[in-house]
Structures are given as structure tokens and as C-alpha cells.
């Protein structure tokens, strides 16, 4: 697996501070430096889109889906919107 992961936590909107521990939700597809997550809810499913590979030759955008915004996220080459 690559270095790093995508994590999320709840935020207390009154204080702006994290409300609980950071939870790892996806490590990506094996590329290094997973970053820039975008989370979408489409037709009742959650989709996470991230960048992997930094700015080098192995840069890629990957997408995975889940029934929950908290994971598990599963990549699928046949995702259609």
C-alpha cells in the first residue's frame, strides 16, 4: 500500500474543533500520497474521489463507493453515474 490515508472526524460547529478521533476511511488503490478527498452522495451511495501519486508520472484520480460516509470504501472500475 501507498503512504498515508484519507481520514475524517466529526467537527463541533460551535468551537471548530474535532469532536472525536480521526478515523481512517480509505488508503486508496495503492498509489502513494492519497490526498484531496471529495465525498459525494449520489442515489443513496457515498463516493469518495481522491488523487494519488503526487505530481509525478504515477499521478491518478481514483474513486470508490460505500453505503456509509464512514467506510468501508471499495474501488470499482465500473462505477457509472
The reported pTM is 0.82
- Rounded CA-CA distance 7/11 in Å is 13
Kindly report, residue by residue over 39-78, the tens digit of the pLDDT.
999 999 999 999 998 887 889 999 999 999 999 999 977 6
| H-assigned helices in 2-81 | none
Structural contact between residues 34 and 56, judged by C-beta atoms closer than 8 angstroms: no
Residue 78 CB contacts under 8 Å (≥ 6 apart), including other chains: none
Q: Is the pLDDT of residue 2 over 60?
A: no
Q: Is the pLDDT of residue 28 over 70?
A: yes
Average pLDDT of the chain to the nearest whole number: 89
Amino acid at each position: 500500500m501507498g503512504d498515508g490515508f484519507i481520514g475524517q472526524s466529526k467537527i463541533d460547529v460551535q468551537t471548530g474543533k474535532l469532536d472525536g478521533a480521526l478515523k481512517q476511511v480509505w488508503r486508496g488503490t495503492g498509489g502513494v500520497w492519497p490526498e484531496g478527498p471529495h465525498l459525494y452522495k449520489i442515489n443513496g451511495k457515498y463516493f469518495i474521489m481522491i488523487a494519488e501519486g503526487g505530481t509525478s508520472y504515477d499521478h491518478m484520480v481514483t474513486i470508490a463507493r460505500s453505503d456509509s460516509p464512514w467506510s468501508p470504501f471499495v474501488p470499482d472500475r465500473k462505477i457509472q453515474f
